[in-house]
Structure 1
Amino acid sequence: MYCLWLRFDDEQDSCCDSSDLEKEEKAINWSETDAVQNTAIYVETGSTLPFHLAANTQENSDQNVTNGLLRKIISGTNAAACSTQGLIPSHISQIYDELFVIHQKLQRESLAQQEYALQLRKREHFLTERETVLFSHEAALAKIRGVEEEVHTKLGIIKEQHEAEVKQLTEVLREITKENRRLKSSFDTLKEVNDSLRKQRKHELLTVKKSNNICQVVQKSKPVKQEKVTVTSKNAKLPTNSQVYELLTFLMDWISDQHLSKIKIHEEREDSHKPQTIETSKKICTQERCMKLLPIATEQLQWMPFVNSKLHMPVIKFIYWSIRQLDSGVQHAAMTSTMRRLGEDIFKGIVIKGNPDSSSEQSTESKSKLAAFFKSSCMPLRFLSTLIVLKTVTQVDYLAQAFDSLRTDLKTDEGKALFLEYQCVPIILSHLKVSSRGLLSVAFDGLLQMTTESDSSQPFLEACSNESFFRTCSLLLRSSKLDTQILEKLCVILQKLSRIKSNKKMFEMFALHQMIQELHRTTNPDHVFLCINLNSILLNLGLSRSNSLISGLSTSH
């Protein structure tokens, strides 16, 4: 550019040489072309280049254009002067005029570009502020996202807790529903049994009336004899009567302890497959005698309120062992009626107003007398009365109360000793039937009380180690109507019995081991206690390779 300026000044100074004019024209054209190209470059790249680069480019271009225009103005002035002097041709002067017009246009475009650059600066400033606002919004959104994630986490925890609570409440509701169904089933069973008992009582009405008539005849004949005794000596009558009862009760106690109970023990230990022998004939004879004595003993219960309460126990014991003698015998209709009446008297007790042996004046002045058996405060008497009720009564509500009383007494060592003394296992077995589902659970509760750690637990397990007990268990396991609660109680007892090595043949005889294997395979794993006992039984029988830890767990339970 500096060279061009020197050249341009030289040309102006000379203004004579045509070759110099041509050179000057070329230099001016080159300068304008350069300025236009620079402006074009700025226009084309201004939209893509950064603002500060575009501004620099624009300033350089404007400076170049300004310098060129100044040159043109100077040259134009000189040219005009030269033209007036006739030094520059007309066509060159016209070119200079056109270039001057172009210069003005470029000035206007330069001003427009400057205004556009100012707008771009303002827009850049606006965008910068907006970008700052967006960054602040983005930071706020990031914080909101963090809070949202935390809220979602807490909501997930609350939802899990809610689902757990709902699941727990659902399980509780399911258990309550099952219990309600059991209660309804028990109620239906009680209703069916009561209906059958009502029909049975109607059927036995004639037999009961005949029995009552016989009793009335006996009672009418007794006062006649007693009146004869009163004529001789009224003062000696009561002591003589009490002595007779003492004698009878001593004899009953003696017979019960030395004869009836021992025969029963011998009967349970003998082999059922042996042919009939002399012992069998004696047993039949004993049963026939008991059948004759039981109705009389039942009538004598009416006199119990008038005798010493210490004499109640021998009478009840004699009645109990007499009933036990009839377990395997055939009972006719008269004995069924006697058993029912005996059970009701034992359950309700005997309440009598006055003494039938005394005069009418003394009878009106005397107070009511009571002989309590099932509700007695004496445990041995209450225990035996409970066993008699379980043997003779068929009403489900009476039986439920009897089992509840038995379970309470078996919580004590004295009750467990009485259970073994009076050989109660067969009595409980008679109620372990699928048909009496309402009593199955309470019956098993009594047996479970006997399995708790005590001096009586091992003798009890030995008393259960017989064919009748395992046959009953086999029938129960074959049934599909048992619920999980009863299965757990049954398996606890079988687990205890499986620890006795001699019982392995009993399990095999009644195929109990196969049923337990199948039950172990199909039982829901959620019933942990049942699965542990089933596995322990199989382990004790040598049918499982499970860890001995499971056996220890079930034993502790």
Structure 2
Amino acid sequence: MGQGGPHITASASFNQYETSFMSQHLHHYKISARENEEESDGRYDLDVETSRLSSPVTPPSLDPPKTRSQRPTAKYLQRLELRPHKKSNPPSVTTLESLSTIPNTEGLHQEDVRDIYEELNEISEKLKREFKILHQRDLVLKQKDKSLNDLQMSLNTAIDNEVKRRLSEREREFEAEFTKLEDALREKTKENRRLKENFDALKNANDILRKELDTLTQSHEKLEKQYRSMQARFINLQRRKDPDEKKKDDLTRILPTDLAQRVHLSLGASKDKGQTGLKRNKSSSNNSQEVIALLLDWVSETQLRRAAANQPTKLTDNTTTQEQIEDRCFKMLPSAIELLREQVTSGSRITLPCLQFIYWSLTHLEGSQSQHLKTSLSSTIRRLGEDLYRGRSSAKTDDGVLLVSSGEFQEKHKEALFFKCGHLHTRLLSSFVILKSITQVDYLARVYETLRNDLKSDTGKEYFLYYQATPIMLSHLKPTHKALTNSTLDIYLQMAMDSPYLRNFLDSCSNENWFQAISLVWKMPGIESKQHEKISIILQKLSKIRLNKKYFEVFGLTASCQELQRSSAVLSPFLSLNLKSILFNLSGAKVQSKVAKE
């Protein structure tokens, strides 16, 4: 084999050793990296490990140990390794001195070891170069990272500045737009305020014009009523014009010369006013004839003709309508009033029937739907009420001119008539007509006083119910007529006293109109305690009638009584007792109605 044999064997051994050495170091580096993650205190740096590899190697003595003790043991070989591997790998050599511990089983020469050392140095240099390259790359990467960080920071700064700039621009634009819109809103507000002020001014002007229109409308209606009244009077005067002229000629022929002259003087004085005086007996005769003619026609139409034809004779029959009755009353009423005015004594046989006809005619006309019938006779009815209140015959025509009798000129009658008459029936009927016809408060107060005295007797109460006088006073039982409210309550209280006619009076009050009027007075603010007591007496007796419970409920009288009873500390004991009685009667009526239903 020669000397080349050992050298070749050493080279092959060295290559094998180099391969195992590099794999062991790479494996050791992986284990170190893994342990760096697991153990904080057992880390190894790549730089330190590389520096260990790059440290100078001194060639050891290649002489094999001559004694047994100098031979390497397994424990020694394990200590030479940097990190033992789980698998049995060749030992790692870090320095040249450690090579001397390897047993020279192959018989390596010193030259081979030097070659190995040189190759190891080359490997070390190569590793240094690689490390330097890696270090440079690391520096480059760090520089790039730093530049990227600087670029990122500059970009962030630029972006922040741009965002701030745009945000400030947007804020300025928003503020400008907000200011513009605020100015526009302010202008709109001013415009709306101006329009509102103009609207309020127009509304006030419209209200003023509406009030003026209402005033003018009322004035127009009043003037229209006056026109119709004057027209009706003119028609009446025109109707009497021809008979007056004839009677004037008759007076000059019949009366003596001196009386005729006085009559002519009276007629001449009244001629300036457009009228002429007449004799009383002639006017009475004409009115009587007219009234009799109308009555005969009415009786013939409604009674005799139907009786002859075996037809019902009641006025409520369908053949006699309400319009026909109102029309005939309207035709006969002026003549009946004139006939009544001509009565000079209270004992006249025609006075009471004439008053009865006038009263029932007025009752029919009050329920009429035609305003023309009411306005045409308003002035005539008002003068009738005034004449009845004065209690003396006026002996005048519609134009106000005095009439004369056959032997003398009467200016005044000594006997009291109508309202001041001593006959109870005539006085009561006159009072009812006065209440329907006039509106003067002083006249009405006097009539109520007289009526209260007349109703103390049972006869007066009988006449009151016969003529159905309960609704007459409802027009005065209002909160607006405070002066007459107490007088009206006195009349109702007088009728509510114990008498044979009490039940009939309570039945006449058991209707919607009466309860509506009395509820308004009961709830009137500022009502006196005495008036409450008077009303409570009447309501206490009406509450005993079971059918009246609905009126108490509808018009709120039950709730009002309960409310008054709660404030019984300020009420009189009498009123408190009446309220308890009313509520007790109403609760009893409620129980009875439930029992009846069951």
Normalising by structure 2, we get a TM-score of 0.47
Read off the aligned partner of 1:337 and give its amino acid letter. S
Partner of 1:58: none
Contact residue 229 and residue 378 of structure 2 kept, 8 A:
no
Corresponding residue to 1:395 among 435, 440, 453: 440
Partner of 1:449: 494
Partner of 2:388: 346
Read off the aligned partner of 2:380 and give its amino acid letter. T
Partner of 2:583: 538
SS of the residue 1:503 aligns to: helix
Corresponding residue to 1:297 among 336, 341, 344: 336
Deviation at 1:512, TM superposition (A): 2.0
Which of the pair is proportionally richer in helix?
1
Deviation at 1:292, TM superposition (A): 3.2
Contact residue 519 and residue 555 of structure 2 kept, 8 A:
yes
- Distance in 2, matches of 1:401 and 1:215, equals 32
- Distance in 2, matches of 1:255 and 1:518, equals 56
Contact residue 253 and residue 315 of structure 1 kept, 8 A:
no
Read off the aligned partner of 1:302 and give its amino acid letter. R
Corresponding residue to 2:542 among 493, 497, 512: 497
- Distance in 2, matches of 1:254 and 1:313, equals 21
- Distance in 2, matches of 1:369 and 1:249, equals 29
The verdict on how the C-alpha distance between 1:476 and 1:317 changes in structure 2, with shifts beyond 3 A counting, is same
Partner of 1:55: none
Corresponding residue to 2:351 among 304, 308, 312: 312
The verdict on how the C-alpha distance between 1:439 and 1:336 changes in structure 2, with shifts beyond 3 A counting, is same
> How big is each residue's C-alpha offset from its partner over 1:431-478, in whole Å with a ceiling of 9 and x where there is no partner?
110100110111110111111111111111111112221222222233
- Distance in 1, matches of 2:333 and 2:283, equals 24
Contact residue 356 and residue 363 of structure 1 kept, 8 A:
no
- Distance in 2, matches of 1:454 and 1:383, equals 19
> How big is each residue's C-alpha offset from its partner over 1:458-506, in whole Å with a ceiling of 9 and x where there is no partner?
1111111122212222222333232211111111100011112222232
Deviation at 1:309, TM superposition (A): 1.7
1:329 counterpart = 2:380: no
Partner of 2:573: 528
> How big is each residue's C-alpha offset from its partner over 1:137-159, in whole Å with a ceiling of 9 and x where there is no partner?
xxxxxxxxxxxxxxxxxxxxxxx
The equivalences for 1:468-479 within 5 A come to 468-479=513-524
Two-structure CA RMSD over aligned residues (Å): 4.3
The verdict on how the C-alpha distance between 1:279 and 1:530 changes in structure 2, with shifts beyond 3 A counting, is farther
Deviation at 1:519, TM superposition (A): 2.0
Q: When the two structures are aligned, how many residues end up with a matched partner?
A: 327
Read off the aligned partner of 2:555 and give its amino acid letter. F
- Distance in 2, matches of 1:240 and 1:334, equals 22
The verdict on how the C-alpha distance between 1:406 and 1:513 changes in structure 2, with shifts beyond 3 A counting, is same
The verdict on how the C-alpha distance between 1:351 and 1:358 changes in structure 2, with shifts beyond 3 A counting, is closer
- Distance in 2, matches of 1:539 and 1:399, equals 37
Deviation at 1:522, TM superposition (A): 2.6
The verdict on how the C-alpha distance between 1:307 and 1:363 changes in structure 2, with shifts beyond 3 A counting, is farther
Contact residue 342 and residue 394 of structure 2 kept, 8 A:
no
Read off the aligned partner of 1:299 and give its amino acid letter. E
The verdict on how the C-alpha distance between 1:255 and 1:318 changes in structure 2, with shifts beyond 3 A counting, is farther
> How big is each residue's C-alpha offset from its partner over 1:198-221, in whole Å with a ceiling of 9 and x where there is no partner?
999999665555454444434443
SS of the residue 2:534 aligns to: helix
Partner of 2:511: 466
Contact residue 385 and residue 433 of structure 2 kept, 8 A:
yes
The equivalences for 1:3-152 within 5 A come to none
Contact residue 473 and residue 488 of structure 2 kept, 8 A:
yes
Contact residue 204 and residue 337 of structure 1 kept, 8 A:
no
**Unpaired segments ≥5 residues, structure 1:** 1-197, 260-276, 546-557
The equivalences for 1:259-298 within 5 A come to 282-298=321-337
Deviation at 1:307, TM superposition (A): 9.4
Partner of 1:121: none
> How big is each residue's C-alpha offset from its partner over 1:99-145, in whole Å with a ceiling of 9 and x where there is no partner?
xxxxxxxxxxxxxxxxxxxxxxxxxxxxxxxxxxxxxxxxxxxxxxx
**Which stretch shows the higher mean deviation, 406-415 or 286-295?**
286-295
Read off the aligned partner of 2:387 and give its amino acid letter. D
Contact residue 452 and residue 494 of structure 2 kept, 8 A:
yes
The verdict on how the C-alpha distance between 1:460 and 1:201 changes in structure 2, with shifts beyond 3 A counting, is same
Normalising by structure 1, we get a TM-score of 0.50
Read off the aligned partner of 1:305 and give its amino acid letter. V
- Distance in 2, matches of 1:414 and 1:253, equals 32
Corresponding residue to 2:533 among 456, 470, 488: 488
- Distance in 2, matches of 1:343 and 1:316, equals 11
Corresponding residue to 2:456 among 411, 436, 445: 411
Contact residue 287 and residue 329 of structure 1 kept, 8 A:
yes
Deviation at 1:408, TM superposition (A): 0.7
Contact residue 304 and residue 371 of structure 1 kept, 8 A:
no
- Distance in 2, matches of 1:232 and 1:375, equals 39
Contact residue 383 and residue 409 of structure 1 kept, 8 A:
yes
Corresponding residue to 2:482 among 433, 437, 452: 437
Deviation at 1:246, TM superposition (A): 9.6
- Distance in 1, matches of 2:415 and 2:285, equals 17
**Unpaired segments ≥5 residues, structure 2:** 1-218, 256-279, 303-315, 591-598
The verdict on how the C-alpha distance between 1:213 and 1:202 changes in structure 2, with shifts beyond 3 A counting, is same
Read off the aligned partner of 1:298 and give its amino acid letter. I
| % identical equivalent positions | 36
Read off the aligned partner of 1:303 and give its amino acid letter. E
The verdict on how the C-alpha distance between 1:471 and 1:365 changes in structure 2, with shifts beyond 3 A counting, is closer
**Which stretch shows the higher mean deviation, 221-230 or 412-421?**
221-230
- Distance in 1, matches of 2:385 and 2:445, equals 14
Task: Give structure 1 regions of 4+ aligned residues with deviation exceeding 6 angstroms.
Answer: 198-204, 227-234, 237-244, 249-256
- Distance in 1, matches of 2:538 and 2:233, equals 45
1:517 counterpart = 2:556: no
The verdict on how the C-alpha distance between 1:338 and 1:215 changes in structure 2, with shifts beyond 3 A counting, is same
- Distance in 1, matches of 2:416 and 2:573, equals 49
The equivalences for 1:354-393 within 5 A come to 356=403, 358-359=405-406, 362-364=407-409, 368=413, 372-393=417-438
Read off the aligned partner of 2:242 and give its amino acid letter. S
Contact residue 288 and residue 339 of structure 2 kept, 8 A:
no
Corresponding residue to 1:217 among 216, 221, 238: 238
Read off the aligned partner of 2:363 and give its amino acid letter. R
Read off the aligned partner of 1:334 and give its amino acid letter. S
- Distance in 2, matches of 1:405 and 1:347, equals 11
Work out which of the two has the higher radius of gyration on C-alpha atoms and give 1 or 2.
2
Contact residue 346 and residue 417 of structure 2 kept, 8 A:
no
1:421 counterpart = 2:480: no
